[in-house]
Amino acid sequence: MALAAVATGIYAAWLFHDMPDAGDLVDYHPPTATRAYGWDGTLIGEFSRERRIFVPYDAIPAQTAQAFLAAEDHSFFKHGGVDVGGVGRAMVKDVINLAQGRRLEGGSTITQQVAKNILLTNDQTLGRKLKEAILASQLEQTLSKERILELYLNEIWLGYRSFGVGAAAYNYFGKSVQDLTLAQSAYLASLPKGPDNYHPIRHKREAMERRNWVIDQMAELGWVTREAADAAKKEDLVVQAAPTRAQYRDADYFVEEVRRTALTMKELGDEKLNAGGYYMRTTLDPKLQSLARTALMNGLENYDRRHGWRGAWGHVETLEGWQAAAKKTALPSERRAWRQAVVLSAAGGAVRVRTVEGQEGALAAADVTWARAGHGIGAGDLVFVAPNEAGPGFRLKQIPIVNGALVAMDPYSGGIRAMVGGYSFSLSSFNRATQAYRQPGSSFKPIVYAAALEAGYTPASVVVDGPITLKGYGGQDWSPENYHHDYLGPLYLRRGIELSRNTMTVRLAQAIGMKRIIDLAQNLGETKKMDPVLAMALGAGETTTYRMAGAYSAFVNGGRLVQPHLIELVEDRNGKAIYRADKRECDHCDAGFSGAESPRIPVTGTQVMDPITAYQITSFLQGVVQRGTGTQALAVGKPVGGKTGTTNEFRSAWFMGVAPHLVVGIYVGFDDNRSLGNNETGAVDAVPIFTEFMTAALKDKPAEEFRPPANAKYAMVGGIREAFRPGTEPSLSAAPLGAAGAAGPQPYDKAFGPGAPGTVPPGAPAAAPPPQPKKKDDLSDLY
C-alpha cells in the first residue's frame, strides 16, 4: 500500500508540475484578425494567422448561443464545470476505446473545452482529461459563465478557415453573426464535432442531418417553437463556394500594400497586425477603386488586342476529359464572366466553342477574323471566352502580357483613393504602382518647368525649340531631339509642356541648372537621388507611379508636399486610437460650441513651391489636354489636365492626370521593360485609361475649376490668360509667338540668336552646363 501511495504521489506530482493557471484567462484575448475598411466603411480585407473575428458576449444572438448549448452542453448554466453524469458515461466508453486502440470519447463540457483549447494540448490521454476537469472547476470559480461561453464561441475551430462564430458566419454565409437565420446558427453549432465530417458541399446530406438534429434539440429544450424548428429544417443549406475575407474584391493590390505598410509601422508590426484585432480605416474609396481596376484592365486588353492573337493557350486531341485539362490554367479572378472553353469546330467563317460548364455557342465574327489574322484557331484549342454582351454566342479573350498601374490620390490629404498594381492580382501580386521603378519620360517635365518658374521665368518667357548639341562624357556629342524630329523655334513656356518639346526642355534645364531641378524633385518626393545630368530633365531617372502621384499633388494643392498614404486610422480592440495619419494639432477642437470663432486647423503639408508656380503648372497641364498631346482626355467633359510620358524605345507609356480634387497616375509597360512597339506612346496607351476612369469618376460631380491663388495677377500671353506673381506680369498682352499662334513656326536661327532677349528672364542665373551621361543615350523619342 505504501509503495502504491508513493507511486500515486510521484505520478500526481509529474502530472500536475506544469499545470496552467486558470487565472491566466481573466485578461485573455484570443488571437483576432485585424480588419481593414475603406473610408466609407466597406470591409476590404483582414490580416490574421487564424481567421477569427472577436464577438463580445452581449453581441452574440441568443439563438446562436442556444444552438451551441443544445449541441454541446445544454446544462452549461447548471453544472460547475464538469458534467459528472456525462463524464461517467464517457469514461466507460473510454475504457473500451483504450482497449481497442481508438480515440477517447468526448463528454467534455463547454468549460472543459475552453480549458483544453486555450490552456492544454489535444493529447488523447487520461492524464490530459484529468487536467481538463480540474482546470474546468477552477475556471468556473474564476470566470463568469458568460465570459466562459464568450471565450468558447470565439475560440472554437469551425472549419472553412474559421475560428469562432464571427469568422464562421462570414466565411460560410457572407454575413455577420447577428444576421444568421436559425438554420444557419444550428449548422454552425453542428460543426465542433468535426467540421470535415459535415462539410456543406462535400457532405451536404450529413451536414443537414446534423443541423436538423441541433434544431430538434433546441425545440425539445423549449428554446424555439416547434413551428419555427420545422420551418428551419426545410431551409436549404447554401454557403459561399469558398471562404471569403471580404465581399468587396476589387482592392487586392491596395490591401496587400496596406499589409506591407502595417508590418513596418512601429505601432503595429507582425504580431499585433495578425493577432491584435485592430480596426483599420484606410483611404480607399471602393467606388473609385472598382472604376480604376476596370479602366486599367480594359486599357491593357485594348493594347494587347491591337498587337494580335497569340494563339490558344492549350490543345486537346479528344474531348474526353478536356475540362480537367482546361481548369489547370487559371483565369484572372477579376474577370468573373470569363470561362475556359474548347473549340468544337472551326470551318469557314464560323467557330463554335463549349465552356467548362457545358454552354455552347459561336464566337463573334470580329473575333474569328482577329484570331485568324494572328496565330489561327482550330478544333481542340483551349481558349478563354466571355458572354457576348452585344448578341448571341461568345467573345474570344486573351490575357495580356503587358502590364501597368493606376494610382488615384487626394492631392490635399495624400490619401490614396484607388490603387491598381497590375492587370490581375490573382496572376501576379507584384505591385507595379509601388515596386516598378521606371523612367517617367516627359511626365517629369512639369517639375523642370516648375523649377524654372521658381527661378524667375514667367509664362511670358520665351525659350528656343531648336537643335542643341552638348558635350557629354569623354567628349562625345549628345544631341537630344523632339519626337517628330522637328523644331518650332521660339515658344512661350507653356508650349514646351503642351507639345512636349525635348530640345526646349533641355535648353531650359541647362539655363537654370540641374541642381534646382534635382532639389525640387526631391522636395516633391519624386525621387530620393538623381544624377546631375541634363538627360534627367527628360525623365531618364527612375521612379514609381505612387511617387509621381505624390509629386503632382503639389501642383493642385497650392505647392504643398503631402505624404501619400493608405492607412488613415488604427484603433485597438477597445477603440483607442494608436495611429493617425493626420498629425495636425487642433487646439480647442474638443471644446463645446461657445459662440466664439471656430478653431483653425493648420493646412496639411510643407510648402515646397510658390502657390502661383503650382497654379501656373496646373494651367499648363490643362493646356496639354486642351491643345497638346493629351487631347483625348477632353472626352472627360470636366476641367482636367495632365502630362503624357513615353520613354526611350517606347518602353514605358505614362499619363499623369490632374483634376481639382484628384491626381491620377497611369503607367503601361512590360515587366521585363521591353519595347511596347513603335508609336505606343503615353497618348496612345495611358490617356485612354485616364479618360475612361475620370469620365466615370466625375460623372455625377459638378464641373469645377482649379483653385487659383488669391494674389495672382493675370495677363494675356499668346491668346491665353496666364497667371503671374505680382510685379512679373507684362504691361501689355504678349502676342502669339511662332507655333504658339496662327502665324506658324518661325525658324529658330532667324528668330533668335544666341543670348537673344526673352530666352532667359532678367535676373535668372546662367548656369554652366552640368556633366552629361557617361554613355550616349538616345532620348529622341521621349514624348
Cβ neighbours of residue 341 under 8 Å, at least 6 residues apart?
326, 353, 354, 355, 356, 382, 383, 384, 385, 394
Q: Which tens digits make up the pLDDT trace of 303-332?
A: 999 999 999 999 999 999 999 999 999 999
Report in angstroms the alpha-carbon separations of 614 from 399, 441, 507, 607, 610. 40, 20, 22, 11, 6
- How would residue 774 be classed by pLDDT, with cut points 50, 70 and 90? very low
Taking residues 254-279, what's their average pLDDT?
Answer: 94
Quote the mean pLDDT of the chain: 87
pLDDT at 13 over 50: no
Q: How far is CA 696 from the centre of its chain?
A: 19
- Measured between alpha carbons, how far apart are the two ends of the chain, in Å? 98
- Cα–Cα distance, 728 to 191 (Å, whole number): 78
- Cα–Cα distance, 332 to 355 (Å, whole number): 16
pLDDT at 14: 42
- Cα–Cα distance, 624 to 630 (Å, whole number): 5
pLDDT at 139: 78
- Cα–Cα distance, 118 to 28 (Å, whole number): 9
- Higher pLDDT among residues 778 and 119, named by residue: 119
- How would residue 241 be classed by pLDDT, with cut points 50, 70 and 90? confident
Residue closest to 642 by CA, chosen among 540, 498, 769: 498
Taking residues 176-180, what's their average pLDDT?
Answer: 95
Rounded to the nearest 10 degrees, the angle between the axes of helix 164-173 and helix 182-189 is 120
pLDDT at 535: 94
Q: Of 46, 48, 72, 481, which one is the catalytic site residue?
A: 72
Pairing of strands 34-37, 279-282: parallel
* Residues 189, 212 contacting (CB under 8 angstroms): no
Q: Which tens digits make up the pLDDT trace of 105-144?
A: 456 888 888 777 665 455 555 455 566 677 777 778 888 9
Q: Which tens digits make up the pLDDT trace of 508-553?
A: 999 999 999 999 999 999 999 999 999 999 999 999 999 999 999 9
- Cα–Cα distance, 464 to 754 (Å, whole number): 10
- Cα–Cα distance, 350 to 362 (Å, whole number): 7
- Which range has the worst mean pLDDT, 205-209, 237-241, 697-701, 742-746? 742-746
The enclosing H or E element of 344 equals strand 339-347
pLDDT at 574: 86
Residue closest to 503 by CA, chosen among 538, 537, 471, 465: 465
pLDDT at 759 over 50: no
- How would residue 248 be classed by pLDDT, with cut points 50, 70 and 90? confident
- Cα–Cα distance, 137 to 81 (Å, whole number): 5
pLDDT at 12: 44
pLDDT at 585: 75
Amino acid at 500: S
pLDDT at 296: 98
HEC per residue, 354-397: EECCCCEEEECHHHHHHHHHCCCCCCCEEEEEEECCCCCCEEEE
pLDDT at 572: 92
The percent of residues in the chain predicted with pLDDT above 90, rounded, is 72
Handedness of CA 556, 559, 563, 568 (dihedral sign): negative
pLDDT at 7 over 50: no
pLDDT at 754 over 50: no
- How would residue 740 be classed by pLDDT, with cut points 50, 70 and 90? very low
pLDDT at 592: 67
Q: Bridge-partner residues for 652, per DSSP?
A: 669
- The torsion region of residue 503 among left (phi > 0), alpha (psi -120 to 50) and beta comes to alpha
- Higher pLDDT among residues 6 and 22, named by residue: 22
Residue 721 neighbours by CB distance under 10 Å: 11
pLDDT at 744: 31
C-alpha cell at 162: 474559421
Taking residues 461-477, what's their average pLDDT?
Answer: 87
- How would residue 29 be classed by pLDDT, with cut points 50, 70 and 90? confident
- Higher pLDDT among residues 499 and 32, named by residue: 499
Please return the burial class of 205, using the count of CB atoms within 10 Å of its CB with bins 0-12, 13-18 and 19+: exposed
Taking residues 34-42, what's their average pLDDT?
Answer: 95
pLDDT at 471: 78
pLDDT at 28: 75
Q: Of 442, 443, 461, 500, which one is the catalytic site residue?
A: 442
- Higher pLDDT among residues 487 and 125, named by residue: 487
Active site residue 442: yes
- How would residue 85 be classed by pLDDT, with cut points 50, 70 and 90? low
pLDDT at 394 over 90: yes
- How would residue 224 be classed by pLDDT, with cut points 50, 70 and 90? very high
